[in-house]
Structure 1
Amino acid sequence: MAMKKPVEVLVIGGNRYVGKRLIARLLGEGHRVTVLNRGSLPPPAGVEQLLADRDDERSLTGALGPRVFDVVVDQVCYTPRQAAIARRVFSGRTRRYVMTSTVEVYEYEDSPALVREEAVDPFTVAVDPGLPWDDPAFLESRYGEGKRQAEAVLAAGGEFASTVVRVAHVLGGHDDFTGRLAHYAERIRTGEPIAVPARNQPATYVHVEEIARFLAWTAGEDFTGPVNAASGGPLTTEDLCEAVAAHVPGGRAVFRPVEVGEVSPFSFRRSYGMDNARAARLGYTFPDARQWLPRAVAETLGKGA
């Protein structure tokens, strides 16, 4: 499912976790890869690095110079302002733009059924560039809304073909920086109760290597619009803790349901399940999450691959 011939790919972001795996996959498939970021880490061998602040249109334009690309994969587009800058800067510079989005765009879709892409149509999302998107606290509290509006800005443009990949919660890898599975491991080890909503809902997940693979595949296709990226089979907090407990000798998860207040990571008051049928129709089949969950937990907790 690789791209059919070597192409010029620009990855915006790409320093860690999903991004570095995406770059490794693209290089392995023989593509010419350029990465654009602020330079906090050096690029891997064989990759050209451009240094720029993607929020600064002049900086971005200057760093790109006369370069053009077959595909741009934007790993760090969070706001409608950033999407608007991308439309202006990459007009005439690329034929295809792939934005990494999130399951959080469905934050208002509370249904036990797996949600499909049409539940949030970018063409119907209202855009308000006047909101304080540059305020980190505001952006953190409006993460899903920022992504929704960024999707809408890209969809409204005709400068290049675009698609947005709505990524499920990502698991796996020794370099998982979130600490979420480690949170469970510590509580299982100590016997401390794990706080979950009284009505705890499942979610869909994707392995970090799988989402890198899917993004690389998407870059080589020609479809447009949103696509959900999630493994089959929603998982509950209990499913995750069972997999974690297998690596904690004598460990057993104890849950404490709460009506109001803070709960543990990967426990949800509403369903975060995504339907991946569109990806399948387009030619990409995701595995079932239970096939890779034990491996993902072992990788993250440092218990082997």
Structure 2
Amino acid sequence: MRALVMGGNRYIGLCLVEELVRQGHEVTVMNSHAVPYPAGVRRLHGDRQQPGAIHDVLGPHRDEFDAVFDNTSYFPKDLEPMVELFTGRVQHLVFTSSVAVYRRSFVQPVQEDFRRHAPEDPDHRKSYGVGKVQCEDYLDDLHRRTGLPHTTLRVGHTFGPRSPLVARDPLFFRRMELGRPTLVPGDGFAALCLVHVADVARLMVSVLGNPKAVGSTYNVVGHEFASVLGVLEMIGRATGAKPDLVHVPLEVARRRNPPIVHWGEAIMGSTVYSIDKALSDLAWTPKFGIESGYADSYRWYANGGRELYEYDFSADDEVLSLLK
């Protein structure tokens, strides 16, 4: 297929571009920052946050795509110009949402029909998830009224090479390499669902040409879950270091901003997501487990990735001083 990727210059988007090329698709990206791409990828320069940029950049190419992957829409206003350009022209619009749309659930694993946040919820702490709910509702309504062929992918916590944020894999790796303490909120028994970025990309491509995926929504996480403690131990194995784990009382951890770890479950409690629907409908299964995924991430980090980040441990030191 002729695929357009919005973004596509780092992390999930770049993995998606590489996977599309690997599977023989013709790829165009639109973004504001160039990176090295596989041979044959066409890049259109534009910042979608600038008024009129999508119409100006993509308008002349509106009939050139069979599928559109939108990884960088956070509110319906972001999607509206895409819908205006491509309704009736593309076979598939794939929207990247998030498991942040879900409310807390007493029953797990969380399936795609479980309760989401209310689209009008004013709580600013939920704004990311609420914005994604609004996007999902907008696309679902268009699908019902016009037949817009879309798929929504609710992606969970990702890990793997080329993290856009130092506070994810790179900072954990560096702490352990240096023998610094790794902070753990509470007892560390809360369970996490993680998914390697390459597995996300493979699932995204797998929806193309699949009629079951049209109008459908899928959770996108790995096939394993582990406690926070277990994940940190597996990160340590990847680095070859024994992590120095320091437990922080939850009443202290809850007050920290930025948070001690980027996994909200460490504070809020376990959440496990079902991928049964994706496994049933799509020609996809996760390739990476948690341990093999962190080993893959560390290989990238140790072979040039380490130098791409700046490491600041002052927040760690402040918490450690409170525990003395």
- TM range, normalised to the smaller chain? 0.7 to 0.9
Q: Distance in 1 between matches of 2:14 and 2:241?
A: 36
**Which residue in the other structure is 1:115 paired with?**
110
Aligned-pair distance for 1:241?
1.3
**Which residue in the other structure is 2:156 paired with?**
168
- The ranges of structure 1 where at least 4 consecutive aligned residues each deviate by more than 6 angstroms after the TM superposition are none
Aligned-pair distance for 1:86?
2.3
**Which residue in the other structure is 2:198 paired with?**
209
Aligned-pair distance for 1:111?
3.4
Aligned-pair distance for 1:243?
1.5
Q: Is 2:173 the counterpart of 1:185?
A: yes
Q: Secondary structure at the match of 1:27?
A: helix
Q: Matches of residues 98-247 of structure 1 in structure 2 within 5 Å?
A: 98-106=94-102, 108-111=103-106, 113-120=108-115, 126=119, 142-157=127-142, 158=146, 160-173=148-161, 175-179=162-166, 180-188=168-176, 189-198=178-187, 200-222=189-211, 223=213, 224-247=215-238
Q: Confirm or deny: 8 A CA contact 1:127 1:152 kept in the other structure.
A: no
Q: Secondary structure at the match of 2:17?
A: helix
**Which residue in the other structure is 2:262 paired with?**
265
Q: Confirm or deny: 8 A CA contact 1:191 1:251 kept in the other structure.
A: no
The farther-off stretch of 206-215 and 29-38 is: 29-38
Q: Distance in 2 between matches of 1:31 and 1:248?
A: 36
CA gap 1:67/1:287 in 2 versus in 1, 3 angstroms = same
Q: Distance in 1 between matches of 2:250 and 2:119?
A: 33
Identity %: 25
Q: Confirm or deny: 8 A CA contact 1:99 1:163 kept in the other structure.
A: yes
Q: Matches of residues 19-168 of structure 1 in structure 2 within 5 Å?
A: 19-41=13-35, 43-56=37-50, 58-64=52-58, 65-68=60-63, 69-106=65-102, 108-111=103-106, 113-120=108-115, 126=119, 142-157=127-142, 158=146, 160-168=148-156
Q: Distance in 2 between matches of 1:85 and 1:125?
A: 24
CA gap 1:294/1:11 in 2 versus in 1, 3 angstroms = closer
Aligned-pair distance for 1:59?
2.4
Q: Distance in 1 between matches of 2:53 and 2:232?
A: 45
Q: Matches of residues 286-305 of structure 1 in structure 2 within 5 Å?
A: 286-287=286-287, 289-290=289-290, 292-299=292-299, 301-302=301-302
The amino acid across from 1:182 in the alignment is P
Q: Which runs of 5+ in 1 are unaligned?
A: 1-6, 132-137
**Which residue in the other structure is 1:278 paired with?**
277
Structure number with higher helix proportion: 2
Normalising by structure 2, we get a TM-score of 0.77
Q: Confirm or deny: 8 A CA contact 2:199 2:288 kept in the other structure.
A: no
Q: Confirm or deny: 8 A CA contact 2:160 2:297 kept in the other structure.
A: yes
Q: How many residues align?
A: 286
Q: Distance in 1 between matches of 2:208 and 2:68?
A: 8
Q: Confirm or deny: 8 A CA contact 1:233 1:288 kept in the other structure.
A: no
Aligned-pair distance for 1:248?
4.9
The amino acid across from 2:149 in the alignment is A
Q: Confirm or deny: 8 A CA contact 2:173 2:298 kept in the other structure.
A: no
